[in-house]
Chain A
Amino acid sequence: MPGADPHTIRTVAALGEARYPHGFETAIESDSAPKGLGEDTIRFISAKKNEPDWLLQWRLSAFKLWQGLREPNWAKLNYTPVDYQDISYYSAPKQKTAPKSLDEVDPELLKTYEKLGIPLSEQKLLAGVAVDAVFDSVSVVTTFREELKKAGVIFCSISEAVREHPELVQKYLGSVVPVADNFFAALNCAVFTDGSFVYVPPGVRCPMELSTYFRINAKNTGQFERTLIIADKGSYVSYLEGCTAPQRDENQLHAAVVELIALEDAEIKYSTVQNWYPGDKDGKGGIYNFVTKRGACRGARSKISWTQVETGSAITWKYPSCILQGEGSVGEFYSVALTTNHQQADTGTKMIHIGKNSRSTIISKGISAGQSQNTYRGLVRVLPRADGAQNYTRCDSLLLGDRCGAHTVPYIESKNPTARLEHEATASKVSDDQLFYCRARGLDEDEAVGLIINGFCREVLQALPMEFAVEAQKLIALSLEGSVG
């Protein structure tokens, strides 16, 4: 594609603020921990959640380890350091007793999700999608539980799983992302508040899409959710997470940990549409998104597929990875990372090939506009015994304007000579020819950019469950509104 000419550069220079329709705040009474982090905080959270002692001890040991860890600084990210003592680590909407059904959920909360386009009443829900709604630090409701129960699928908040299915939680929690894996993961272990838990029994194909919707509402609160998904032998599950936050001038911290376990012949499809508040056009405010996501393909022929559409957050630090232990196991990573204004994203994946004939595919699409910085960072590692391992990586970057940056940082480490590894990378600009051609067919500049970018991302968007692909397309177009013209 030819480069952008002075016209595009001029119009891009007039870059407006991307619109963020989810920036409202819900006025709801909440129950919060005082700011600050210490053993007391952890005991407070654990007590609030009526946790068993083993979990409290696990948290406390994580906290000790965390104190000895340093915040990673190798990513291409520049941000004001976080004051970990200036954050509240727990905030929950006040509710006398835990809701047993939707009728008992605070109407304000239901309204909030309705406004976000996630109606929680089951009649209005997307057919075939069960939702767990997490508001600040707690899960407020999980829908379609009965239907799932019939199939034997457990889908609930992680707090509930700790109470109801302690054997599963104890067996798998921290088994993919060790407590001391990294600074943010250790912090999460110490203070995680809620998140989703999924267990799909052997041979069961989960009858509906599962989805968690994360919402940060309270001010000065961090969100530390924890998700654990186990697909037992020969099972299948597709899971989607979405997230938004109010528009605020202060940065807010989000440090999640997601662990996936796929046993023999099992498949997990994990999709994310990340739309945390990105900050304003001058780079003020926005979410710091420091997330550790990792899946273990433990069994032979198991498969884990990550699909992410990242449009939000001021800072994104995120590398959904696959540990391909099982023979013939498969890891996939499909990613769209879109940055505008002053957003910075350093995201990618790690594919660790351990099992023989394990295969992985990485398709990354980075789109940078404004003064944003967008880095793909990916590791493909083949261990000595992974005979016949294969990886295919493609990284495409697209730039809008000349003040943004796109970077590709691949790491390839192969200790097995039979491995076949392919890497392709392209960088291009949205061409004026394309823009004008679309306009000469009646599209305005925003529509034209939206269409061209969605075309650029097509392979990734196709990997999303159908219901969400359309939403993701709209979100991409909306995020880029005003990026030219």
Chain B
Amino acid sequence: MLQISDLHARYDGKDILTGVSLSIKPGEVHAIMGPNGAGKSTLGYVLSGRPQYEVTSGQVQLAGQDLLALEPEQRVAAGLFLAFQYPVEIPGVSTMNFLRTAVNAVRKARGQAEHDAPSFLRLVREKAKALGISEEMLKRPLNVGFSGGEKKRMETLQMLLLEPKLAVLDETDSGLDIDALKVVAQGVNSLRGSERSLLVITHYQRLLDYIKPDFVHVLSAGRIVKSGGPELALELEAKGYSHVA
């Protein structure tokens, strides 16, 4: 599904990713852990095509497509989704309006029919309810005044609506209490299937109790220094990164 080969990237003149290679097969869940500043978020941004992040070498393929050749919005159409570590406020734009605009833009780009208003409303309400997102929140401007937990639920909702092939979750667990974590994990798990893959970036083993990874990687100083099965996450939790890396 996703094939990253020797990816180097810089931000503001500084090399941040220094040779990341990673292969994710359809249906697999990979977790990336690592200390602060390791480059985890940078990896998410580079995959999504954030303009300020410059790829200096390497390749990325998503479902056989050259991902790096695409504009950010084309990558979404191609099946990539990034749940932001820090979701952005869009004042004056109601969440519902934003969701409809985004989903219809992506459906159009994928050659699918746009949703009509009533059926879209139904779809959003159903998925929102499962994530504990209130009707009232859907009317508010996107992310404006949302709590940390509310923002993460909203990222999850967007992911479900945009039906990605590969979703990158950047610390979607941070800011969530244990109940919210379960709800979000349930939402994420509902997306899992033989066709979809996940790349879960997290600091804590905690999330991985609910979203079971097939592989765990440790990212440190811009490259993957260790890979293993789910037991690696437990080892990291017990012994810390410095020991492993």
Interface residues of A (CB under 8 A from B): 5-7, 431-434, 436-444, 447, 451-452, 454-459
B52 and A432 contact, CB distance less than 8 A: yes
Q: Which of B51, B73, B87 contacts A432 (CB 8 A)?
A: B51
Contacts A457-B92, A458-B92 given: A441-B76 contact, CB under 8 Å? yes
Bound CA–CA A384/B22 (angstroms): 75
Interface residues of B (CB under 8 A from A): 48-52, 71-73, 76-77, 82, 84, 87-93, 98, 101-103, 105-106, 109, 141, 158, 162
A436 and B50 contact, CB distance less than 8 A: yes
Bound CA–CA A456/B90 (angstroms): 9
A442 and B88 contact, CB distance less than 8 A: no
A442 and B93 contact, CB distance less than 8 A: no
A–B Cβ pairs within 8 angstroms, 23 of them? A5-B52, A7-B51, A7-B52, A434-B89, A436-B50, A437-B88, A437-B90, A438-B102, A440-B76, A441-B98, A441-B106, A442-B76, A442-B103, A443-B102, A447-B101, A447-B105, A451-B90, A454-B92, A455-B91, A455-B141, A456-B91, A457-B92, A458-B93
Contact partners of A454 in chain B: CB under 8 A: 92-93
- CB of B144 to closest CB in A, whole Å: 9
Contact partners of B92 in chain A: CB under 8 A: 454-459
Contact partners of B72 in chain A: CB under 8 A: 436, 439-440
Cβ-closest 3 pairs across A and B: A455-B92, A455-B93, A458-B92
B73 and A439 contact, CB distance less than 8 A: yes
A455 and B90 contact, CB distance less than 8 A: yes
Bound CA–CA A7/B45 (angstroms): 15
B158 and A437 contact, CB distance less than 8 A: no
Chain B: CB-nearest residue to A365:
B92
Q: Which of B51, B76, B101 contacts A451 (CB 8 A)?
A: B101
Bound CA–CA A3/B98 (angstroms): 23
Contact partners of A457 in chain B: CB under 8 A: 92
Bound CA–CA A438/B158 (angstroms): 12
- CB of A295 to closest CB in B, whole Å: 27
Contact partners of A434 in chain B: CB under 8 A: 88-90
- CB of B5 to closest CB in A, whole Å: 23
Contacts A5-B52, A454-B92, A456-B92 given: A441-B162 contact, CB under 8 Å? yes
Chain B: CB-nearest residue to A447:
B105
Q: Which of B49, B91, B102 contacts A441 (CB 8 A)?
A: B102
A442 and B73 contact, CB distance less than 8 A: yes
Q: Which of A433, A439, A440, A451 contacts B93 (CB 8 A)?
A: A451
Chain A: CB-nearest residue to B87:
A437
Bound CA–CA A444/B106 (angstroms): 10
Contact partners of A7 in chain B: CB under 8 A: 51-52
- CB of B22 to closest CB in A, whole Å: 20
Which of B71, B91, B158 has the most C-beta atoms of chain A within 10 angstroms of its own C-beta?
A: B91
A439 and B162 contact, CB distance less than 8 A: no
Bound CA–CA A39/B242 (angstroms): 92
Bound CA–CA A62/B111 (angstroms): 62
- CB of A39 to closest CB in B, whole Å: 52
Bound CA–CA A440/B76 (angstroms): 7
- CB of A106 to closest CB in B, whole Å: 39
Contact partners of B93 in chain A: CB under 8 A: 451-452, 454-455, 458
Contact partners of A452 in chain B: CB under 8 A: 90, 93
B52 and A451 contact, CB distance less than 8 A: no
Contact partners of A459 in chain B: CB under 8 A: 92
Contact partners of A458 in chain B: CB under 8 A: 92-93
- CB of B227 to closest CB in A, whole Å: 27
Contact partners of B162 in chain A: CB under 8 A: 441-442
Which of B89, B93, B162 has the most C-beta atoms of chain A within 10 angstroms of its own C-beta?
A: B93
- CB of A432 to closest CB in B, whole Å: 7
- CB of B173 to closest CB in A, whole Å: 19
Contacts A7-B51, A451-B98, A455-B141 given: A442-B90 contact, CB under 8 Å? no
Contact partners of A451 in chain B: CB under 8 A: 90, 93, 98, 101
Bound CA–CA A442/B48 (angstroms): 11
- CB of A336 to closest CB in B, whole Å: 12
Bound CA–CA A437/B87 (angstroms): 8
